[in-house]
């Protein structure tokens, strides 16, 4: 159905702005104006789903209200609301505030992006001392009436009047205890009347005013409360954490809807459902319900609800209708829906629907299955996945071979496994996180105000609530493990104790939770990395079909290369050879090479290193065959392979002291011979045995030589000093050895029948002459190796671009280099003049919180500065060499936003760490599919 266009779209001009839209009129696609919930209520109404009638107050009204320093309602808003209430009265045949036939309302928030539980809701609005008797008479159910009333006073008191929860919770709990009632449902009408009266007193005592009786005053205060909740701490924290900008959601709409009741008796129920299982993605009815209850009972986890398939036995006709509703929702929205419903005396109402949040595994599975069900296209399937979320699928699971017995089992509410120290409240979780501790948040149930605890904890365990409780939904959204409703554990948050059987758990005790099956264990259980699902492989293969960028990996070990290939890496974009130098069997040779007194001694060490390097390269080339492997020549300053000066000085001092001791032992040995105890002499450890003095002298000499070298190599700014190609030019024999090792590896692989493609890459280049210098060595060694092995070598030669001057001289460098690889770690360092080593611990956090920088530029590419240099370098380089291959191998290469830029600027590949490869594959496809919408200026980064 066509939507009615708003008469005026701006919130600032209130003179003729339309603020209110009936569900039958509002534009179901305009989530920005009506909020997600409001838009969907309009859409559902208009496609004929049974939605209780109501209307939406727009987000513009909210913004207009919040912009006003006095928080006055925008002019005309309440007039428009009155008019809609009149229309509702007509549609329902009821009267707002009419004691004989009262119209009761719910008031709910809803912004453009779903922020579950982040803002406030009021139910049963319109009850007062006059309408309550009418409600009781009309329903013939005194208990129901008083229950509705006490809920209303409680919610209204909390949300609209700002009264703390515990002012209501404490007397309510006391009443339940007095009556021996475990659940609210066990309380009688008289009990509920009594508590309603107590609540009215609470309101009066706390606010100094009686509870408002005027239904329009109730309505206005509620609308204001919802507006205010947009700028409340919970909502602001949520938006910050999930990076929801005003562009994505600005202000909340208010949904005002006729109440329907799931708590009028045993022919009533309320429930929440997902159109597919949000934990696994399986295409089944999923959800929970409670008979004779109101919606908040399910969501708040106060009573443990029943799985939806049980509805089939209790209310078969309603179950049939629910299945039809679920099918209809999915077929209409072409997306997994998270919906809420109420059954009021045999009539099914849908109260809301929204796109379902789910973990990455479920998102991937539903994406693939919905393509197979022809609900969405492959492109839509790719766009449905947030690349960063895939990280969850790479999270560890419990080692299947573990033998530990679980102490309690709850519901598997959000998969993954985690160990940590128990904390019982969100603040403690946050404090522990700051100290670097891993914690599990353990609660009876969680509430939206616990959100910071979720951010800080490794996982969440609750003793109450179902798979759709707050704890479950939030943890799933964050991809953190959660076990909910573990009723076998008694949690006493105040005393900071939990009890399972006769075991007492205290804060700081370590537990492990498995959100995949709901088990909880004492102590830490080992974990194993998860396996890629077939669905993920399928989705990634579709992504590869759309992506233009190739995804390579940064890997320098066999393990990393193997992992990356499994994750779909199309080659190695950066193999840092220095990491191979650090292995235990090479370091002594590397040190000999560094401290060598002359060329012969250095060459001797290099000759020992070369076969080792060659074998390393061979192994990696073979694993990656037939994919390219970019091997970077030695980059770091060589002093990094030596101990530091202080350490060496100390060692020499100790050795010198040892020499004195050895001399003392020599004296002792002479004496022992006099004492005829030669056998003891033979058992002396090495330094004290004959010749020990020479051994210690040799050690001192070696360490002294190293110390001299360390002092000789000292630099004030080593990262800007004698490293990279500068090192290769001053010690050409080192680069020559590495080049020979690469080319011999290629020759040997060829001979063994492997199709290998090495690429030699030079770091830190800033002039064409530097590159020429190395290229000459490459040409010489190539000719020698080809002659020696009788093969035709086929490798590429290229340069890293990580120095600003290299960007400026890209045209010249491309005369020699066949490829460029942007080393954006160093390029960011040199563009910003921020030290990589220091910035992240010193001023960057403040820069980020103060919004001086939008992101840490070492994580997310600074497209407006570093990116601009890259763009220039790509263009100038390709002017010289049109087929110049260009990639990125800095850490930013695996970040989706950076991948988008790399696609935009025409790179051929991004290279990232192995576990980011799947993320980059999806991001690369998304970059291609959204390329038309991309512009650098629209990116929220620093100016
Ligand atoms: C870079 O500078 O981006 C790079 C990949 O090199 P490294 O981090 O090893 O200096
Ligand atoms: Mg670098």
Predicted confidence (pLDDT) per residue in 496-547, tens digit: 999 998 899 999 999 999 988 899 999 999 987 676 789 999 999 999 999 9
Q: Evaluate if residue 695 carries a pLDDT over 60.
A: yes
Percent of the chain exceeding pLDDT 70 equals 95
Over the Cα atoms of the chain, what is R_g?
A: 35
* 3-class DSSP state of 561: helix
Nearest of 748, 751, 758 to residue 794 by alpha carbon:
758
What angle is formed at CA 675 by the lines to CA 669 and CA 679, rounded to 5 degrees?
A: 65
What's the confidence (pLDDT) of residue 2? 36
CA 576 to ligand 1: nearest atom: 9
pLDDT of residue 568: 95
HEC profile for 738-763? HHHHHHHHHHHHHHCCCCCEEEEEEC
Residue 882 CB contacts under 8 Å (≥ 6 apart), including other chains:
none
As a 3-state breakdown, the chain gives helix, strand, coil percent values, each rounded to 5, of 50, 15, 35
Quickly state the pLDDT bin for 184 (edges 50, 70, 90).
confident
- CA dihedral over 156, 159, 160, 164, signed as positive or negative: positive
CA–CA gap between residue 465 and residue 459 (Å, rounded): 16
Closest by CA position to 547, among listed 566, 574, 568, 572 = 568
Ligand 1 atom nearest to 822, measured from its CA? 3
Residues 6+ apart with CB under 8 A from 872: 807, 808, 810
The set of residues, in sequence order, having a beta carbon less than 8 Å from that of 92 and lying 6+ positions away, is: 53, 103, 258
Nearest atom in ligand 1 to 825's CA = 3
Give the three-state DSSP class for 902: helix
Instruction: State the distance from the centre of ligand 2 to the C-alpha of 823, rounded, in angstroms.
Output: 5
CB 535 within 8 A of CB 500: no
Which protein residue's CA is at the shortest distance from atom 3 of ligand 1? 823
Distance CA 767, CA 106 (A): 70
* Predicted pLDDT of residue 1: 34
Instruction: Using the mean position of ligand 2's atoms as its centre, give its distance from the Cα of residue 405 in Å.
Output: 48
Local structure of residue 352 (DSSP, 8 states): E
How many angstroms does the Cα of residue 833 sit away from the middle of ligand 2?
14
DSSP three-state, residue 553: strand
Q: d(Cα 604, Cα 577) in Å, to the nearest integer? A: 20
Distance separating alpha carbons of residues 858 and 866, to the nearest angstrom: 11
Helices 31-46 and 59-67: angle between axes, nearest 10 degrees: 150
Testing ligand 1's pocket by substitution, the residue of 574, 822, 857 carrying the most ligand atoms inside 8 A of its CB is 574
- Pocket probe for ligand 1: among 573, 576, 890, 895, the residue whose CB has the most ligand atoms within 8 Å is 890
Burial 524-551 (b: 16+ CB within 10 A, else e): ebebeebebbebbbbbbebbbebbebbb
Residue 95 DSSP class: B
What pLDDT is stored for residue 97 in this prediction?
94
Query: Which residue's alpha carbon is at the smallest distance from atom 1 of ligand 1?
Result: 823
The answer for 568, left when phi > 0, alpha when psi is -120 to 50, beta otherwise, is: left
- Specify the pLDDT at position 448: 67
Token readout for 233 is 């701490």
518: left (phi over 0), alpha (psi -120 to 50) or beta: left
Q: Which residues contact 291 (CB under 8 A, 6 or more apart)?
A: 266, 268, 269, 306, 314
pLDDT of 8 reads 39
| Candidate of 633, 800, 830 to mutate for ligand 1, largest count of ligand atoms within 8 Å of Cβ | 800
Using the predicted structure, report yes or no on whether residue 303 has a pLDDT greater than 90.
no
> Does residue 802 have a pLDDT over 50?
yes
Range of weakest confidence among 492-496, 539-543, 622-626, 654-658: 492-496
In angstroms, rounded to a whole number, what is the distance separating the alpha carbons of residues 100 and 130? 9
Please tell me the least confidently modeled range out of 124-133, 220-229, 234-243, 686-695: 686-695
Closest to 260 in 3D by CA, of 303, 293, 307, 226: 293
- Residue 200 vs residues 106, 213, 606, 919: alpha-carbon distances, Å: 20, 11, 87, 54
Biggest CA-to-CA distance, the chain: 121
253 alpha carbon – ligand 2 mean position (Å): 49
Element (H, E) at 41: helix 31-46
Instruction: Please give the model's pTM, rounded to 2 decimal places.
Output: 0.77
Could you give the percent of the chain with pLDDT greater than 90? 67
- At residue 12, the pLDDT reads 42
Ligand 1 pocket, Cβ-based, cut-off 6 angstroms: 574, 576, 635, 802, 823-826, 889-890
pLDDT in tens, 14-67: 457 899 999 999 999 999 999 999 999 999 999 999 999 999 999 999 999 999
* Number of neighbouring beta carbons within 10 Å of residue 487: 14
- Work out the mean pLDDT of the chain and round it to a whole number: 90
pLDDT at 558 over 70: yes
pLDDT for 403 equals 87
pLDDT in tens, 247-288: 888 899 999 999 998 988 899 999 999 999 998 899 999 999
Residue with CA nearest ligand 1 atom 4: 823
* C-alpha span between 96 and 113 (Å, rounded): 31
**Contact between 34 and 59 (Cβ < 8 Å):** yes
- Residue 640 clears pLDDT 90, i.e. is over it: no
d(CA 818, CA 795): 10
| Ligand 1 atom index nearest CA of 826 | 2
Q: Is pLDDT at 841 greater than 90 in this prediction?
A: no
Q: Which residues contact 181 (CB under 8 A, 6 or more apart)?
A: 175, 187, 191
Return the pLDDT at 738.
97
**Class of residue 818 by CB neighbours under 10 A (exposed 0-12, middle 13-18, buried 19+):** middle
Cα–Cα dist 400/292, whole Å = 42
8 Å CB contact between 578 and 636:
yes
Nearest-atom number in ligand 1 for the CA of 890 is: 3
Per DSSP, what are the bridge partners of residue 352?
340
Ligand having the closest approach to the CA of 888: 1
Segment 65-77 shows an average pLDDT of 87
Distance 890 CA to ligand 2 centre (A): 7
Which residues are annotated as catalytic? 470, 889
- Per the CB < 8 A criterion, the answer to whether 195 and 171 are in contact is yes
Q: Report yes or no: 743 and 782 within 8 Å, Cβ to Cβ.
A: yes
- 740-791 pLDDT per residue, tens: 999 999 999 999 999 999 999 999 999 999 999 999 999 999 999 999 999 9
- pLDDT at residue number 117: 61
Task: Please give the distance, rounded to the nearest whole angstrom, from the Cα atom of residue 943 to the centre of ligand 1.
Answer: 25
Question: How confident is the model over 899-903, as a mean pLDDT?
Answer: 97
For residue 828, the ligand closest to its alpha carbon is: 1
Q: Report how far ligand 1's centroid is from the alpha carbon of 888 (Å).
A: 10
Average pLDDT of span 184-194: 91
Which residue, judged by its Cα, is nearest atom 10 of ligand 1? Answer: 826
pLDDT band at 3 (very low <50, low <70, confident <90, very high): very low
The protein residue whose alpha carbon is closest to atom 8 in ligand 1 is 825
| Ligand 1 atom showing the smallest separation from residue 824 Cα | 3
Give the mutation target among 575, 857, 873, 889 for probing the ligand 1 site: most ligand atoms within 8 A of CB. 889
Confidence at residue 703, expressed as pLDDT on a 0 to 100 scale? 92
Q: Summarize pLDDT for 78-123 with one digit per residue, the tens.
A: 999 999 999 999 999 999 999 989 999 999 999 998 776 666 789 8
Rounded CA-CA distance 147/331 in Å is: 37
Task: Looking at the CA of residue 823, tell me the nearest atom of ligand 1.
Answer: 3
Ligand 1 centre from 635 Cα, in Å? 9
pLDDT of 688 higher than 80: no
Q: Please say if the pLDDT value at position 633 is more than 90.
A: yes
What does the block give as tokens for 612? 């080792």
């Amino acid at each position: 159905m066509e939507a009615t266009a708003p008469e005026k779209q701006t919130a600032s001009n209130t003179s003729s702005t339309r603020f209110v839209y009936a569900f039958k009129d509002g534009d179901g696609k305009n989530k920005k104006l009506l909020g997600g919930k409001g838009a969907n209520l309009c859409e559902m109404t208009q496609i004929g789903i049974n939605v209780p009638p109501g209307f939406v107050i727009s987000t513009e009204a909210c913004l207009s209200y919040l912009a006003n320093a006095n928080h006055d309602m925008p002019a005309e808003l309440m007039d428009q609301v009155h008019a809609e209430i009149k229309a509702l009265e007509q549609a329902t045949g009821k009267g707002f505030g009419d004691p004989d036939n009262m119209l009761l309302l719910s008031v709910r928030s809803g912004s453009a992006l779903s922020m579950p539980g982040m803002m406030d809701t009021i139910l049963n609005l319109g009850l007062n001392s006059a309408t309550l008797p009418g409600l009781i008479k009309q329903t013939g159910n005194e208990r129901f009436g008083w229950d509705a009333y006490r809920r209303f006073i409680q919610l209204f008191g909390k949300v609209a009047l700002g009264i703390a929860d515990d002012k209501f919770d404490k007397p309510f709990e006391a009443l339940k205890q007095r009556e021996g009632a475990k659940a609210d449902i066990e309380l009688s009408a008289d009990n509920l009347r009594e508590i309603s009266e107590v609540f009215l007193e609470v309101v009066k005592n706390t606010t100094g005013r009686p509870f408002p009786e005027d239904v329009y005053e109730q309505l206005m205060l509620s609308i204001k409360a919802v507006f205010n909740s947009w700028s409340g701490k919970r909502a602001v924290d949520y938006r910050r954490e999930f990076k929801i900008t005003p562009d994505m959601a600005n202000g909340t709409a208010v949904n005002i809807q006729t109440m329907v009741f799931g708590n009028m008796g045993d022919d009533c129920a309320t429930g929440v459902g997902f159109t597919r299982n949000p934990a696994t993605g399986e295409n089944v009815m999923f959800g929970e319900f409670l008979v004779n209850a109101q919606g908040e009972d399910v969501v708040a986890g106060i009573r443990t609800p029943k799985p939806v398939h049980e509805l089939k036995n209790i209310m078969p006709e309603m179950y049939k209708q629910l299945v039809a509703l679920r099918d209809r929702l999915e077929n209409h929205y072409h997306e997994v829906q998270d919906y809420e419903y109420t059954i009021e005396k045999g009539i099914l109402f849908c109260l809301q629907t929204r796109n379902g949040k789910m973990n990455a595994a479920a998102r991937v599975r539903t994406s693939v299955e919905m393509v197979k069900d022809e609900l969405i296209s492959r492109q839509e399937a790719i766009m449905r996945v947030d690349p960063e979320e895939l990280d969850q699928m790479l999270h560890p699971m419990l080692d299947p071979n573990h033998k530990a017995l679980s102490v309690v089992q709850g519901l598997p509410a959000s998969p993954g496994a985690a160990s940590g120290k128990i904390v019982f409240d969100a603040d403690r979780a946050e404090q522990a996180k700051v100290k670097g501790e891993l914690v599990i948040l353990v609660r009876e149930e969680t509430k939206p105000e616990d959100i910071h605890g979720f951010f800080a904890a490794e996982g969440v365990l609750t003793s109450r609530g179902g798979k759709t409780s707050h704890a479950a939904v939030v943890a799933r959204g964050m991809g953190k493990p959660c076990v909910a409703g573990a009723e076998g554990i008694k949690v006493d948050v105040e005393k900071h104790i939990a009890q399972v059987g006769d075991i007492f758990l205290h804060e700081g005790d370590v537990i492990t939770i498995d959100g995949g099956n709901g088990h909880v264990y004492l102590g830490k259980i080992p974990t194993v990395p998860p396996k890629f699902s077939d669905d993920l492989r399928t989705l990634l293969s579709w992504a590869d079909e759309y992506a233009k960028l190739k995804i390579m990996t940064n890997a320098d070990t066999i393990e990393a290369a193997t992992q990356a290939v499994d994750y779909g890496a199309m080659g190695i974009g950066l193999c840092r050879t220095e990491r191979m130098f650090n292995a235990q069997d090479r370091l002594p040779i590397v040190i000999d090479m560094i401290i060598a007194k002359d060329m012969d001694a250095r060459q001797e060490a290099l000759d020992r290193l070369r076969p080792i390097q060659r074998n390393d390269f061979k192994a990696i080339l073979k694993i990656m065959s037939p994919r390219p492997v970019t091997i970077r020549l030695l980059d770091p300053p060589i002093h990094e392979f030596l101990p530091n000066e202080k350490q060496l000085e100390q060692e020499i001092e100790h050795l010198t002291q040892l020499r004195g001791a050895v001399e003392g032992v020599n004296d002792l040995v002479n004496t022992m011979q006099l004492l005829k105890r030669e056998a003891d002499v033979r058992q002396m450890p090495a330094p004290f045995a004959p010749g020990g003095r020479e051994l210690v002298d040799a050690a001192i000499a070696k360490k002294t030589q190293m110390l001299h070298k360390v002092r000789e190599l000292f630099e004030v700014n080593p990262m800007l000093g004698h490293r990279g190609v500068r090192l290769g030019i001053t010690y050409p024999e080192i680069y020559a050895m590495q080049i020979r090792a690469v080319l011999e590896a290629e020759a040997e692989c060829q001979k063994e029948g492997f199709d290998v493609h090495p690429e030699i890459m030079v770091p830190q280049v800033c002039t064409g002459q530097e590159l020429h210098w190395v290229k000459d060595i490459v040409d010489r060694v190539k000719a020698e190796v080809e002659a020696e092995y009788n093969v035709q070598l086929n490798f590429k030669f290229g340069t890293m671009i990580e120095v600003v001057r290299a960007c400026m001289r890209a045209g010249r460098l491309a005369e020699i280099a066949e490829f460029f690889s942007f080393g954006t770690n160093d390029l960011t360092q040199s563009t910003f003049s921020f030290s990589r080593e220091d910035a992240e611990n010193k001023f960057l956090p403040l820069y980020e919180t103060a919004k001086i920088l939008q992101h840490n530029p070492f994580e997310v590419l600074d497209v407006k500065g570093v990116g601009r240099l890259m763009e220039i370098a790509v263009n100038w380089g390709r002017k010289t060499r049109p087929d110049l291959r260009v990639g990125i191998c800095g850490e930013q290469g695996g970040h989706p936003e950076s991948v988008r830029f790399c696609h935009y600027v025409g790179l051929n590949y991004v290279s990232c760490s192995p576990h980011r490869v799947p993320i980059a594959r999806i991001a690369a496809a998304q970059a291609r599919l959204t390329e038309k919408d991309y512009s650098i200026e629209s990116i929220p980064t620093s100016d």
